[in-house]
Structure 1
Amino acid sequence: MATSDELQPNSASHSEISPDFSVIVPIYNSANIFPELYKRLITALEPAFSTFEIIAVLDGCRDASFEVISARAAQDSRLKVLEFSRNFGHQAALTAGLNHARGKWVAIIDDDLEDPPEILPQFVAKAREGFDVVYGVRRKRKRSLVHRALYRLFYRISGLLMDTKIPNDAGDFCVMSARVREILVSMPENNRYLRGMRAWSGFKQTGVEYERCARFADESGYSLNKYFELAFNGIFSFSYKPLKYVTFIGVLVAILSIEESIRIVYGKLTGHIPDVPGWAYLTVAVLFLSGLQLVAIGIIGEYIARIYDEVKQRPKYIVKTKLNVVQGKARDASDWR
Structure 2
Amino acid sequence: MRASTLPPSVQPSTTWPVSAQRVDLSIIVPVYNEAPVIEEFHRRLLAALDALPESCEVVYINDGSRDDSMRLLRAFGAADARVVVLDFSRNFGKEIAMTAGLDHAAGDAVVVIDSDLQDPPELIGDMLREWRAGADVVMMRRTSREGESWLKKASASWFYRLIGSIGEQAIPADVGDFRLLSRRAVEALRACPERTRFMKGLFAWVGFRQTTIDYERDARFAGVTKWNYWRLWNLALEGITSFSSVPLKLASYVGLATAGFAFAYALLIFGKALLYGNPVAGYPSLMVTVLFLGGVQLIALGIIGEYLARMFVEIKGRPLYLLAGVYRHREDAPAALQSAAVPRKEPAKEPVPASGGEPPGA
TM-score normalised according to structure 1 size? 0.91
Q: 1:144 to 1:195 in 2, by over 3 A?
A: same
Q: Of residues 204, 208, 213 in structure 2, which corresponds to 1:208?
A: 213
State how far apart, in whole Å, the 1-side matches of 2:260 and 2:317 are. Answer: 42
Structure 1, unaligned stretches of length 5 or more? none
Residue 284 of structure 1 and its aligned partner are, at CA, apart by 2.3
The letter for the 1-side match of 2:98 is: L
Deviation at 1:282, TM superposition (A): 2.2
Whole-angstrom CA distance in 1 between matches of 2:24 and 2:91? 30
Distance of 2:208 and 2:329 partners within structure 1: 30
Q: In the alignment, does 2:127 pair up with 1:123?
A: yes
Partner of 2:55: 51
Specify the SS of the correspondent of 1:77: coil
Report the CA distance between 1:72 and its aligned residue. Answer: 1.3
- 2:30 equivalent among 20, 26, 29: 26
Describe how 1:5-44 pairs up with structure 2 within 5 A.
7-9=11-13, 16-44=20-48
Structure 2 matches for 1:238-249, cutoff 5 A? 238-249=243-254
Does the alignment pair 1:82 with 2:82?
no
Greater shift, 280-289 or 89-98, is seen at 280-289
Equivalent of residue 311 in structure 1, options 285, 298, 315: 315
- Which of these residues, 165, 171, 177, is aligned with residue 166 of structure 1? 171
Structure 2 residue 262 is matched with structure 1 residue 236: no
Unaligned runs of 5+ in 2: 1-5, 334-346, 355-362
- Displacement of 1:50: 3.2
Tell me what 1:155 maps to. Answer: 160
* Aligned ranges 1:154-303 → 2 under 5 Å: 154-270=159-275, 272=276, 274-275=278-279, 277-303=281-307
**Aligned counterparts of 1:139 and 1:294: Cα–Cα separation in 2:** 40
Distance, in Å, in 2 between the alignment partners of 1:30 and 1:183 is 30
Q: CA deviation at 1:17?
A: 3.1
Counterpart CA distance in 1 for 2:163 and 2:149 is 21
SS at match of 2:231: helix
C-alpha separation between the residues in 2 aligned to 1:308 and 1:171?
28
What is the rounded CA distance, in whole Å, between the counterparts of 1:40 and 1:207 in structure 2? 23
Q: Residues 20 and 49 of structure 1 are in contact (CA less than 8 Å); yes or no, is this contact kept in structure 2?
A: no
Q: Describe how 1:61-76 pairs up with structure 2 within 5 A.
A: 61-76=65-80
CA contact (8 A) 1:109 1:115 kept: yes
Residue identity matched to 1:283: M
1:99 aligns with 2:73: no
Q: 2-side partners of 1:207 and 1:335: how far apart?
A: 41
Residue of structure 1 equivalent to 2:344: none
Give the letter aligned to residue 192 of structure 1: R
In 2 relative to 1, CA 259–334 (structure 1 residues): closer, same or farther, beyond 3 Å?
farther
- Which moved further from structure 2: 31-40 or 52-61? 31-40
Q: In the superposition, relative to structure 1, how do residues 293 and 9 fare at CA in structure 2: closer, same or farther (>3 Å)?
A: same
- Cα pair 2:77 2:329 within 8 Å, conserved: no
Residue correspondences, number: 326
State how far apart, in whole Å, the 1-side matches of 2:180 and 2:121 are: 11
Q: Does the CA-based 8 Å contact 1:135-1:173 persist in structure 2?
A: yes
Cα distance in 1 for partners of 2:299, 2:350 equals 43
Question: Judging changes above 3 Å, is the alpha-carbon distance between structure 1 residues 9 and 77 closer, same or farther for their aligned structure 2 residues?
Answer: farther
Verify the 8 A CA contact 1:264 1:273 in the aligned structure 2.
no
CA RMSD in angstroms, aligned pairs only? 2.2
Q: Which sits farther off after the overlay, 278-287 or 291-300?
A: 278-287
Identity of aligned residues (%): 40
Can you list the C-alpha shifts for 1:144-181, whole angstroms capped at 9, x where unaligned? 11111111111111111211000011111100101110
Matched position secondary structure for 1:33: helix
Partners of 2:329 and 2:261 lie apart in 1 by 63
- What TM-score comes out, normalization by structure 2 length? 0.85
In the aligned structure 1, how far is the partner of 2:240 from the partner of 2:267?
Answer: 39
Amino acid at match of 2:41: L
Out of 126, 136, 139, the position equivalent to 1:135 is 139
Deviations 1:93-141 (A, max 9, x none): 0000000000000010011111111101101211222211011111100
Contact 2:63/2:94, CA 8 A, preserved across alignment: yes
**8 Å Cα contact 2:78/2:329 also seen in 1:** no
The AA in structure 1 aligned to 2:241 is: F
Following superposition, the deviation at residue 276 of structure 1 comes to: 5.2
